[in-house]
Amino acid sequence: MLLVLILAAAALSPALADGRGRTFDNRYAHNQYYPARGYRAPALPPHPYPVHYHGSAFYYTGGVWYRPAGPRFVVVAPPIGVAVPILPPYFTTVWFAGVPYYYANNVYYRWAPSQSSYIVTDPPGAPDSATTTQPDQGDIYAYPARGQSTDTQARDRYECHRWAADQTGFDPTQPLGGVAASQSTARRADYQRAETACLEARGYTVR
Protein backbone atom coordinates (compact mmCIF):
# COMPACT_ATOMS: atom_id res chain seq x y z
CA MET A 1 0.00 0.00 0.00
CA LEU A 2 1.24 3.47 -0.80
CA LEU A 3 1.96 5.56 2.26
CA VAL A 4 0.91 9.17 1.75
CA LEU A 5 1.99 11.78 4.26
CA ILE A 6 1.20 15.45 4.46
CA LEU A 7 4.27 17.03 6.06
CA ALA A 8 4.37 20.40 7.81
CA ALA A 9 7.21 22.76 7.04
CA ALA A 10 8.40 22.80 10.62
CA ALA A 11 9.02 19.06 10.44
CA LEU A 12 11.20 19.25 7.36
CA SER A 13 14.96 19.52 7.66
CA PRO A 14 16.93 18.98 4.45
CA ALA A 15 20.20 17.72 5.93
CA LEU A 16 21.84 17.08 9.27
CA ALA A 17 25.63 16.63 9.49
CA ASP A 18 26.81 13.45 11.19
CA GLY A 19 30.40 14.53 11.80
CA ARG A 20 31.89 12.02 9.32
CA GLY A 21 31.64 13.97 6.11
CA ARG A 22 28.08 12.85 5.46
CA THR A 23 24.67 14.46 5.74
CA PHE A 24 21.42 12.79 6.70
CA ASP A 25 18.61 13.97 4.44
CA ASN A 26 15.32 13.67 6.31
CA ARG A 27 13.25 16.10 4.27
CA TYR A 28 9.93 14.46 3.32
CA ALA A 29 11.01 11.49 5.48
CA HIS A 30 13.59 10.64 2.80
CA ASN A 31 15.99 9.39 5.51
CA GLN A 32 19.16 8.67 3.55
CA TYR A 33 22.84 9.53 4.12
CA TYR A 34 24.90 11.27 1.41
CA PRO A 35 28.43 12.67 1.21
CA ALA A 36 28.38 16.34 2.19
CA ARG A 37 28.67 18.88 -0.60
CA GLY A 38 32.21 20.14 -0.82
CA TYR A 39 33.63 16.74 0.13
CA ARG A 40 36.61 15.83 -2.09
CA ALA A 41 36.67 12.16 -2.97
CA PRO A 42 39.96 10.57 -4.07
CA ALA A 43 38.08 8.52 -6.70
CA LEU A 44 34.58 8.14 -8.09
CA PRO A 45 32.30 5.33 -6.91
CA PRO A 46 31.88 2.45 -9.39
CA HIS A 47 29.77 2.94 -12.51
CA PRO A 48 28.96 6.67 -12.43
CA TYR A 49 27.00 8.29 -15.26
CA PRO A 50 29.13 10.89 -17.06
CA VAL A 51 27.11 14.02 -17.80
CA HIS A 52 28.28 16.99 -19.88
CA TYR A 53 26.31 20.19 -19.46
CA HIS A 54 27.15 23.57 -20.97
CA GLY A 55 30.76 22.55 -21.40
CA SER A 56 31.22 21.22 -17.86
CA ALA A 57 31.76 17.61 -16.84
CA PHE A 58 29.76 15.99 -14.04
CA TYR A 59 29.42 12.47 -12.72
CA TYR A 60 26.18 11.17 -11.21
CA THR A 61 25.73 8.08 -9.07
CA GLY A 62 23.50 7.08 -6.18
CA GLY A 63 21.89 10.52 -6.00
CA VAL A 64 25.28 12.24 -5.61
CA TRP A 65 26.83 14.64 -8.14
CA TYR A 66 30.59 15.05 -8.60
CA ARG A 67 32.81 17.40 -10.58
CA PRO A 68 36.51 16.89 -11.33
CA ALA A 69 38.76 18.96 -9.05
CA GLY A 70 42.38 18.30 -9.94
CA PRO A 71 43.16 14.68 -9.10
CA ARG A 72 40.03 14.43 -6.96
CA PHE A 73 36.26 14.75 -7.38
CA VAL A 74 34.22 17.23 -5.37
CA VAL A 75 30.60 16.66 -4.36
CA VAL A 76 28.45 19.46 -5.80
CA ALA A 77 24.87 20.54 -6.40
CA PRO A 78 23.81 19.70 -9.96
CA PRO A 79 22.98 22.55 -12.34
CA ILE A 80 19.31 23.28 -12.89
CA GLY A 81 18.24 21.91 -16.26
CA VAL A 82 20.70 19.03 -16.50
CA ALA A 83 19.11 15.74 -17.65
CA VAL A 84 19.77 12.17 -16.46
CA PRO A 85 18.29 8.87 -17.72
CA ILE A 86 17.38 7.37 -14.32
CA LEU A 87 16.48 8.50 -10.84
CA PRO A 88 18.66 7.80 -7.79
CA PRO A 89 18.18 4.33 -6.26
CA TYR A 90 16.31 5.93 -3.34
CA PHE A 91 13.93 8.78 -4.02
CA THR A 92 10.74 10.26 -2.62
CA THR A 93 7.90 11.31 -4.89
CA VAL A 94 6.71 14.78 -3.93
CA TRP A 95 3.51 16.26 -5.32
CA PHE A 96 3.10 20.00 -5.86
CA ALA A 97 -0.24 21.20 -7.26
CA GLY A 98 -0.90 17.73 -8.66
CA VAL A 99 2.47 17.41 -10.40
CA PRO A 100 4.96 14.70 -9.31
CA TYR A 101 8.56 15.62 -8.57
CA TYR A 102 11.22 13.15 -7.44
CA TYR A 103 13.37 14.19 -4.51
CA ALA A 104 16.75 12.92 -3.24
CA ASN A 105 19.75 14.58 -1.60
CA ASN A 106 18.21 18.08 -1.67
CA VAL A 107 17.65 17.83 -5.43
CA TYR A 108 14.31 17.78 -7.29
CA TYR A 109 13.84 15.91 -10.58
CA ARG A 110 10.94 16.01 -13.01
CA TRP A 111 10.18 13.60 -15.84
CA ALA A 112 10.49 15.15 -19.32
CA PRO A 113 8.78 12.82 -21.84
CA SER A 114 10.16 14.70 -24.85
CA GLN A 115 13.70 13.93 -23.67
CA SER A 116 12.99 10.54 -22.05
CA SER A 117 14.97 11.88 -19.09
CA TYR A 118 14.63 13.35 -15.64
CA ILE A 119 15.46 17.05 -15.44
CA VAL A 120 16.93 18.73 -12.36
CA THR A 121 14.54 21.54 -11.40
CA ASP A 122 14.25 24.38 -8.93
CA PRO A 123 12.34 23.56 -5.72
CA PRO A 124 8.76 23.63 -7.01
CA GLY A 125 7.06 25.27 -4.02
CA ALA A 126 6.76 25.70 -0.29
CA PRO A 127 7.50 22.44 1.58
CA ASP A 128 4.23 22.59 3.51
CA SER A 129 2.27 22.49 0.23
CA ALA A 130 3.70 19.10 -0.71
CA THR A 131 2.26 15.60 -0.51
CA THR A 132 4.86 12.84 -0.42
CA THR A 133 4.41 9.32 -1.70
CA GLN A 134 6.63 6.46 -0.61
CA PRO A 135 6.37 3.50 -3.01
CA ASP A 136 5.60 0.13 -1.48
CA GLN A 137 8.67 -2.00 -2.07
CA GLY A 138 7.58 -4.91 0.10
CA ASP A 139 5.46 -6.82 -2.42
CA ILE A 140 8.43 -8.32 -4.27
CA TYR A 141 11.66 -9.59 -2.76
CA ALA A 142 14.51 -10.01 -5.24
CA TYR A 143 17.52 -12.06 -4.15
CA PRO A 144 20.75 -11.29 -6.11
CA ALA A 145 21.43 -14.86 -7.24
CA ARG A 146 24.46 -13.81 -9.30
CA GLY A 147 26.02 -11.84 -6.46
CA GLN A 148 25.03 -8.46 -7.91
CA SER A 149 26.51 -5.49 -6.05
CA THR A 150 24.36 -3.07 -4.05
CA ASP A 151 24.69 -0.44 -6.79
CA THR A 152 23.71 -2.96 -9.47
CA GLN A 153 20.73 -4.14 -7.43
CA ALA A 154 19.50 -0.57 -7.00
CA ARG A 155 19.91 0.19 -10.71
CA ASP A 156 18.27 -3.08 -11.80
CA ARG A 157 15.38 -2.62 -9.38
CA TYR A 158 14.70 0.88 -10.61
CA GLU A 159 15.07 0.04 -14.32
CA CYS A 160 12.73 -2.95 -13.93
CA HIS A 161 10.25 -0.74 -12.08
CA ARG A 162 10.36 1.79 -14.91
CA TRP A 163 10.02 -0.89 -17.58
CA ALA A 164 7.09 -2.57 -15.80
CA ALA A 165 5.35 0.80 -15.36
CA ASP A 166 5.81 1.62 -19.04
CA GLN A 167 4.52 -1.80 -20.11
CA THR A 168 1.43 -1.85 -17.89
CA GLY A 169 0.55 1.81 -17.38
CA PHE A 170 0.60 1.20 -13.60
CA ASP A 171 3.12 3.18 -11.53
CA PRO A 172 3.19 2.32 -7.78
CA THR A 173 4.86 5.65 -6.99
CA GLN A 174 1.56 7.37 -7.84
CA PRO A 175 -1.74 7.23 -5.93
CA LEU A 176 -3.69 4.14 -7.06
CA GLY A 177 -0.88 3.57 -9.53
CA GLY A 178 -2.10 6.40 -11.72
CA VAL A 179 -5.15 4.43 -12.89
CA ALA A 180 -8.84 4.37 -12.03
CA ALA A 181 -9.67 2.84 -8.65
CA SER A 182 -11.66 0.09 -10.36
CA GLN A 183 -8.55 -0.97 -12.31
CA SER A 184 -5.94 -0.57 -9.58
CA THR A 185 -5.90 -4.15 -8.22
CA ALA A 186 -5.72 -5.84 -11.63
CA ARG A 187 -3.17 -3.40 -13.03
CA ARG A 188 -0.99 -3.77 -9.90
CA ALA A 189 -0.93 -7.54 -10.51
CA ASP A 190 0.09 -6.91 -14.15
CA TYR A 191 2.83 -4.56 -12.97
CA GLN A 192 4.18 -7.11 -10.47
CA ARG A 193 4.28 -9.84 -13.12
CA ALA A 194 6.18 -7.55 -15.48
CA GLU A 195 8.61 -6.44 -12.77
CA THR A 196 9.20 -10.06 -11.74
CA ALA A 197 9.91 -11.11 -15.33
CA CYS A 198 12.39 -8.26 -15.75
CA LEU A 199 14.23 -9.05 -12.51
CA GLU A 200 14.38 -12.77 -13.23
CA ALA A 201 15.85 -12.04 -16.65
CA ARG A 202 18.61 -10.08 -14.88
CA GLY A 203 19.52 -12.98 -12.61
CA TYR A 204 17.40 -12.43 -9.48
CA THR A 205 15.35 -14.97 -7.59
CA VAL A 206 12.03 -13.26 -6.96
CA ARG A 207 9.53 -14.05 -4.22
Supply the pLDDT for residue 157.
Answer: 79
Beta bridge partners of 206: 142
CA distance 149 to 139: 21
Are 91 and 28 in contact by the 8 Å Cβ rule? The answer is no
CA distance 66 to 85: 17
Segment 135-156 mean pLDDT: 72
Query: Is the pLDDT assigned to residue 2 strictly greater than 70?
Result: no
Write down the mean pLDDT value for the chain.
Answer: 80
Supply the pLDDT for residue 172.
Answer: 74
Dihedrals phi, psi of 54, to nearest 5 degrees:
50, 45
Query: Is the pLDDT assigned to residue 196 strictly greater than 90?
Result: yes
Supply the pLDDT for residue 32.
Answer: 87
Supply the pLDDT for residue 27.
Answer: 87
Query: E strands of the chain, at which residues?
Result: 3-6, 16-17, 22-25, 32-35, 40-41, 49-53, 56-61, 64-69, 72-76, 83-84, 92-96, 99-104, 107-112, 117-121, 131-134, 142-144, 204-206
Report which of 31, 29, 33 is spatially closest to residue 8, judged by C-alpha positions: 29
Higher pLDDT, 154 or 56: 56
Query: Is the pLDDT assigned to residue 138 strictly greater than 60?
Result: no
pLDDT tens across 83-127, in order? 988 888 788 888 887 788 889 999 999 988 888 788 999 988 765
Beta bridge partners of 51: 58
Q: What is the DSSP letter of 14?
A: S
